[in-house]
Structure 1
Amino acid sequence: MSTPAFDPDRELTCPPLYTLNLSAAQRSVLAWMEDHGALFAHIVAPVEEVADGCELSVSTVYDALARLETLRLVLREPGGAARINARYYFTLHPEMREMITAALTAPEIVPDDRARAPRKTGNIAARRRRTIRPVDDD
């Protein structure tokens, strides 16, 4: 049985957000998290702070986060920190997806014998290292 070929549109994207039927509160919480760096790192998002930032009630933020976690748009660590799924980022930035695809599908770089050989030092370079030259005070 062969493995399917790498398909960046399948492997590095999520469904369009309009197909997920997100509420305004869920979109606001997702935008708040994105603005606070959750695309690139796990952040601690205190529910009260998110509620103040999005002008929502605390219970609405809890419901929004629960739905975003169910959809796997938001991923939680055991310590409570959360992060936006990287597939969401690559859906928003197709140019980055293309760069990652090029890196994942490019052939491996293999050093040759010359790269593995010890570095050669020429006579001029060796002499230059041994000679102490005075510095002009001008």
Structure 2
Amino acid sequence: MATAPAPFDPEQEFVTPPLYALNLSAAQRCVLDWIERQGGLFAYITVPVEEAADDMELAESTVYEALARLTAIGLLVRDDAGGHRINARYFFSANPDLRRLVAAALVDPPITPDARAAAPRKVGNTDARRRRSIRSV
């Protein structure tokens, strides 16, 4: 007999070890911040190592090593095309208020339109006159 899975608890699921416990170097923190500033929090981005090294004033080999370590410990997620994205668990762990908001969104019931939402929109006289007077440019 199969047991039901435990209910989703974001306070347990989204929590990661604190950054100080991961013993990150300054270069690894810089690379993580650089990827976040380039939009790597929401989408996979390609990290041009030469450009990133120049921006952070690091050696290219240091950037390669930082990418490798951050990917190995799971702070960065790599796709098949070679792009990197910041692990969402890290982001939510660092932002507890957002974590609570996401947890509420996952637990709250879905929004369903009722009959009134499907009805045609009532247009008042003022709105009708405005629509007639607006001309395309």
TM-score between both structures, scaled by the size of structure 1: 0.77
User: Which secondary structure state, in structure 2, belongs to the residue aligned with residue 104 of structure 1?
Assistant: helix
Tell me by how many angstroms 1:50 deviates. Answer: 1.4
Match of 1:6?
Answer: 8
RMSD after superposition: 3.0
Structure 2 matches for 1:1-138, cutoff 5 A? 1-109=3-111, 114=115, 119=119
Tell me by how many angstroms 1:97 deviates. Answer: 1.0
Between the aligned partners of 2:81 and 2:59, the Cα distance in structure 1 is 24
User: Which secondary structure state, in structure 1, belongs to the residue aligned with residue 77 of structure 2?
Assistant: strand
Tell me by how many angstroms 1:76 deviates. Answer: 1.2
Give the number of aligned pairs.
129
Give % identity: 50
| Offset from partner CA, 1:16-55 (integer Å, 9 cap, x none) | 1111111111111111111111112211111111111121
TM-score between both structures, scaled by the size of structure 2: 0.78
Tell me by how many angstroms 1:110 deviates. Answer: 5.0
Between the aligned partners of 1:82 and 1:121, the Cα distance in structure 2 is 46
- Greater Rg by CA: 1
Q: CA distance change for structure 1 residues 3 and 119 in 2, over 3 Å: closer, same or farther?
A: same
Runs of 4+ in 1 over 2 A off after TM superposition: 107-112, 118-122
Which blocks of at least 5 consecutive residues in structure 1 are unaligned?
126-133
Q: CA distance change for structure 1 residues 115 and 31 in 2, over 3 Å: closer, same or farther?
A: same
Between the aligned partners of 1:93 and 1:74, the Cα distance in structure 2 is 17
Which blocks of at least 5 consecutive residues in structure 2 are unaligned?
124-131
